[in-house]
Structure 1
Amino acid sequence: MAAKKPSTTNKTTQPAEATVAATDNATETVDMTGGDTTSADTSPRTAEAKSRFNAAIAEAKAGAAALGDEAKVRAGQYRDEAKHKREDWSGEARNKAGELAVEGKHKASEALSGLSRMIDENAPTLDEKLGAKYGDYARNASRNLQENARILDEKSLDELADGSREAIRKSPATAVGIAALVGFMFARLFR
């Protein structure tokens, strides 16, 4: 009996492919399982198209980088301009506030002097109607107001601010009471 030769069949693990159509740029192949794949043809036209495409991408990247750099430079310039303008405006505002504070200090001094004169002018009337004791109180108050007006006029804003801070530290309750009284007087005055 002759020994049977085992039959050899082609059992490969890779699917077989069949060429469906071929063009100048690519060959389309279909595998036997139903999927299709595209493999690039290395013709001169394909290589030229790829190089042009890559050059266009490189040029676009360079353009985007240049725009980004220009945007950073302009942003820095705008930031510097804004900083200088802010400093200018801040300096102008500080100067204007200083001018207004000096003007306000002068007006307050004038108001105290005017109030002092008014009280001093009415002191004789108080002497007649209420007695000399009340007239003396009015004259004393008038002198104190005149002295405070003189001090207010002579001192600088920094000295006044320091003096106010010190007075508030020494007697916060008195400072709150005076602020409430001044607020009430302004409310009545501008009503």
Structure 2
Amino acid sequence: AALPAKSFMAGLLVCILSGIFSPMLNFAFVFGEPLRNAALAAGASVGRAADGLWALTLTAGFLPNAGYALYLIVRNRSGNLWSRHTAGNLFWSTLMGVLCYASFLVYGSGASHLGRLGGIVGWPLFMSMSLITSNSLGALTGEWRGAPAKALRLSLLGMGILIVAIVIIASGGQA
């Protein structure tokens, strides 16, 4: 069955806004250079100088996300669902948050060591590796079970293209 035009437009708007806002964390890294320099002047290592940026920007991103989640919980009257499977959900959501934050710490360290090119080549590498890792883990955990063969082929093709792009970017610095 076809989706109503309103649902399609809402989905399209989310896709467009996601594309616009996706690089904002990298913008924070690039335009946060004065904060990184202040951290270096205070004695932080090159690899740890961006850590303060992540605390600030990820908190700023968390607040509207948490607010929207709370809005949906109230609107859908689904607060009672919080009492189900609490320990397991708490473990997995905490692990997801820790791994997400750790990935930004690693990105900040690596991009800082790349110097001026960090925000230029580091971000596409980071995003590509995020997609490859998440899709690979999804396949290993059975997320793709029952998916049409064409969807799986397209996913593999996309990951292959990302891997080729990583090789091209990595070899671009070699003379």
Same fold (TM over 0.5): no
Larger % of strand: which? 1
TM-score, with structure 2 as normaliser: 0.30
Q: Which has the larger radius of gyration?
A: 1
TM-score, with structure 1 as normaliser: 0.28
